[in-house]
Amino acid sequence: MSHVLEVLKKVYGYDQFRGQQQAIIEAVIAGEDTVTIMPTGGGKSLCYQLPALIRNGLGVVVSPLIALMQDQVDTLHQLGINAVFLNSTQSYREQQEIEHNLKSGHIKLLYIAPERLLMPQTIILLKSIEVALFAIDEAHCISQWGHDFRPVYQQLSILKDHFNNVPLLALTATADQQTKFEIKQKLKIPNAIEFLHSFDRSNIRYHIVESATKEALWGFIQSNHPTDAGVVYCLSKKSVEETALWLEQKGRTALAYHGGLNKDIRAKNQQRFLREDGIIIVATIAFGMGIDKPDVRFVAHMNLPKSIEAYYQETGRAGRDGQPANAWMSYKLQDLVQHKHMLEDSEGSSDFKQIGNQKLNALIDLCESSDCRRISLLSYFDEKLDQPCGNCDNCLNPPEQFDGTIPAQMAISVAYRTQQRFGTAYLIDILVGNMNERIKQNDHHMLPTHGVGKEITKKQWRSIFRQLIAKGLLELQGEYKTLRLTPACREVLQGKRQLQLNKVGKTPVKTPINEASSTKTPDAEKLFEELKKCRAQIAKDGEVPAYIICHNSTLTEIAEVKPTSLEKLYNIRGLGQSRIEKYGQELINVVLKFREDQTKEKNTLKQTNLETLELLKKGLAVENIAKERKLSLSTIQEHCALLIWHRLLNLQSVYDINNDEITEINQHLVAANFSTELRLKPVFEALNERYSYPILKCVAAHLYPCAQSQSE
């Protein structure tokens, strides 16, 4: 095994490098300068940490995100790596002590803010010791044209003057040609080797729906992420507050985060989101920069963001750990109108406003498109995907289309015949033949287009208008966002261009399930919860967030493999030597106790239940088992409920029941206060007897492992 692979396994507990990590690491070890462009979650940290461990001397990591330094250093400590940070949050005494330790030569990694690095005393200090490498994180901050420009980054040019022989790595997740050029130029690394990665976040599943209600948001969260951490973005402070409260009433822990909250509350909510499991943060876009939480399982947008870049960045906060995650967005025409107003009222130049408008239009185009979302998204970043991704709503559930040429002609002509002076809602009223005061005053009931579109619902009309805007045939204009024709209209009006449009209504209410949460066997699921509790305690004792102790993916693997000795832990991904020494035994103890409990539980189950279990495992259907065992169907169904309750059986392996149905049943279980009342009759009746008692019982056993369901 190569040396770098050995270190990877021993320190990090990983078997393989990702993407070009190994090539980057080897180049740095050989002393080369490098520029790495890799999306969030791609694994940039390893690219400088590992060479710093192998080369002699101190690895210096420059980062503008001082809020993250503590986390990074804590993570390194878990790995048994001696790391420190220096920034303005520390007292003079602390800083003195750290400088002293740096001189001693025992420290492998130093995280430092650029301002601090550039102080003459720091340069002198670093010159007096051996430096293994400089890593410039978030290197795009050097670009004046980018959105994160930090003037101090430009002064990093002095590094090469002072440390000509020390390899320098520039790393970023956002870079176009211009930024890359500036990075090389300003850092004086013209010959740096470039490592460019795809921007694709293949583990994120994209869903975009139109005008979803809060209930639809809840349906998405409840059926895909009943216990996961996530972020919900809203446009206004008011809707942040309302949505957070509403999710709380639904039984989730949901915390608000926006600019109007006092600084302490904001910090506290962010802290809880990072440290506790399964919290939903409801935020305006003010939330996110510097959030490194790896196990955010979903990001939901209740409104349209302001550009594709923003959408990519905000959704990118999901699934940094590489496990499946969902990005869900609901948007409406009103969002677009609101963004355009904000843009017009802003201070920017006319160029700025024009670019802002183009960006919004590109995003609407993505929303209204019936093509693979990933292809559209990546093409915006000039990247080509060879085939549809199979992991977005349009791929999984292709929208139905229809020949929309004639409705499009109607829509365009009604805008034209009303002198392009009205907005969508009014034009739709004319099309469907409404007779309101305003229409009468304007004599618009006399127009030939009045009522020509009454066969089409208002909802479908709204969608048609949005699609025409997205296709650049109509545009919103002026203070009142009236609809204006564009030159591209002509071909459609003349019938020279045929238009395929999406149908509304059949948009997936049923959001595809995020496999990550559903593939565990029931006993692995139960053990996973136990392991999470154990991790929470370790994290609490060490005063660090749980994900710093280890990731969910590591716990999932333990829950599936159920290792019973320390040696066996070395085969689990994400557990290196240091972590195993620190708390391997505690994890093993959880597994041992679980196995013991399971044996006990099995002993309390009667032989007859276990026989049913055996036959179920062989793949026999419930009806056939009843026949074979010469028992009644309801008896076997009782067995199933008991087995599910003991987590020996998975609900969905016995009954063909989908997550929407489970959600529906659960709403009634909650309404009937099942967890304390333990009565199914009200639920059976409220659901109009659509589900049989045994099914309700199994679902209840699945959802409420603590409540013993009673038969009625």
Which positions ≥6 away from 603 have C-beta within 8 Å? none
Q: Which CB sits closer to ligand ADP, 46 or 240?
A: 46
- Would you count residue 646 as binding ligand ADP (CB under 6 A)? no
Based on the number of CB atoms within 10 Å of its own CB, is 167 exposed (0-12), middle (13-18) or buried (19 or more)? buried
Half-sphere exposure of 259 (CA within 13 A, CB side): 6
Q: Nearest approach, Cβ of 374 to Zn ion (angstroms)?
A: 5
- Would you count residue 70 as binding ligand ADP (CB under 6 A)? no
Q: Which CB sits closer to ligand ADP, 37 or 126?
A: 37
Rounded to an integer, what distance in angstroms lies between the CA atom of residue 217 and that of residue 284?
16
- The single residue among 11, 27, 35, 44 that binds ligand ADP, judged by CB under 6 A, is 44
Dihedral (Cα; 608, 613, 614, 618), 10-degree rounding:
140
Nearest to 548 by CA among 157, 71, 112: 71
Q: Which CB sits closer to ligand ADP, 21 or 307?
A: 21
Give the Cβ contact number of residue 394 at 10 Å.
22
Interacting partner of 188 out of Zn ion, ligand ADP, none (Cβ under 5 to 8 A depending on kind):
none
Q: Which CB sits closer to ligand ADP, 83 or 469?
A: 83
Hey, CA dihedral for 194, 199, 200, 204, is it positive or negative? Answer: positive
Q: Nearest approach, Cβ of 43 to ligand ADP (angstroms)?
A: 3
- The single residue among 11, 29, 41, 531 that binds ligand ADP, judged by CB under 6 A, is 41
User: Considering only residues 2-21, where is the footprint of ligand ADP by CB under 6 A?
Assistant: 14, 16-18, 21
The pair of structure tokens assigned to 619 is: 């793949």
Cβ(165)–Cβ(89) under 8 Å?
Answer: no
Nearest to 44 by CA among 142, 135, 117: 135
User: Which one of 182-190, 320-328, 470-478, 700-708 is the stretch in contact with ligand ADP (CB under 6 A)?
Assistant: 320-328
Nearest to 49 by CA among 103, 111, 98: 111
Interacting partner of 45 out of ligand ADP, Zn ion, none (Cβ under 5 to 8 A depending on kind):
ligand ADP
Interacting partner of 389 out of ligand ADP, Zn ion, none (Cβ under 5 to 8 A depending on kind):
Zn ion
Which positions ≥6 away from 393 have C-beta within 8 Å? 205, 206, 207, 208, 209, 373, 508, 511, 512
User: What DSSP designation does 400 have?
Assistant: P
- The single residue among 108, 180, 320, 646 that binds ligand ADP, judged by CB under 6 A, is 320
Q: How far apart are the first and last CA of the chain?
A: 63
In the shown chain, the binding pattern of residues 212 to 251 toward ligand ADP, with x for contact by CB under 6 A and - for none, equals: ----------------------------------------
Q: Nearest approach, Cβ of 390 to Zn ion (angstroms)?
A: 6
Q: Nearest approach, Cβ of 85 to ligand ADP (angstroms)?
A: 16
Nearest to 46 by CA among 101, 1, 109, 116: 109
User: Which one of 44-52, 61-69, 380-388, 585-593 is the stretch in contact with ligand ADP (CB under 6 A)?
Assistant: 44-52
Give the Cβ contact number of residue 207 at 10 Å.
24
Q: Nearest approach, Cβ of 292 to ligand ADP (angstroms)?
A: 7
- The single residue among 23, 45, 77, 679 that binds ligand ADP, judged by CB under 6 A, is 45
Which positions ≥6 away from 125 have C-beta within 8 Å? 99, 102, 103
> Residues of 679-689 as b/e, b for ≥16 C-beta within 10 angstroms?
ebebbbeeeee
Rounded to an integer, what distance in angstroms lies between the CA atom of residue 585 and that of residue 579?
10
In the shown chain, the binding pattern of residues 282 to 311 toward ligand ADP, with x for contact by CB under 6 A and - for none, equals: ------------x-----------------
- The single residue among 27, 35, 38, 360 that binds ligand ADP, judged by CB under 6 A, is 38
Q: Which CB sits closer to ligand ADP, 294 or 705?
A: 294
Chain contacts with Zn ion (rule: CB under 5 A):
372, 374, 388-389, 392, 395
Q: Nearest approach, Cβ of 51 to ligand ADP (angstroms)?
A: 14
Q: Nearest approach, Cβ of 36 to ligand ADP (angstroms)?
A: 9
- Would you count residue 576 as binding ligand ADP (CB under 6 A)? no
How many residues bind to ligand ADP according to rule CB under 6 A?
18
Interacting partner of 18 out of ligand ADP, Zn ion, none (Cβ under 5 to 8 A depending on kind):
ligand ADP
Hey, CA dihedral for 458, 462, 463, 469, is it positive or negative? Answer: positive
**Which residues would be at the binding site for ligand ADP (CB under 6 A)?**
14, 16-18, 21, 38, 40-46, 294, 320-322, 551
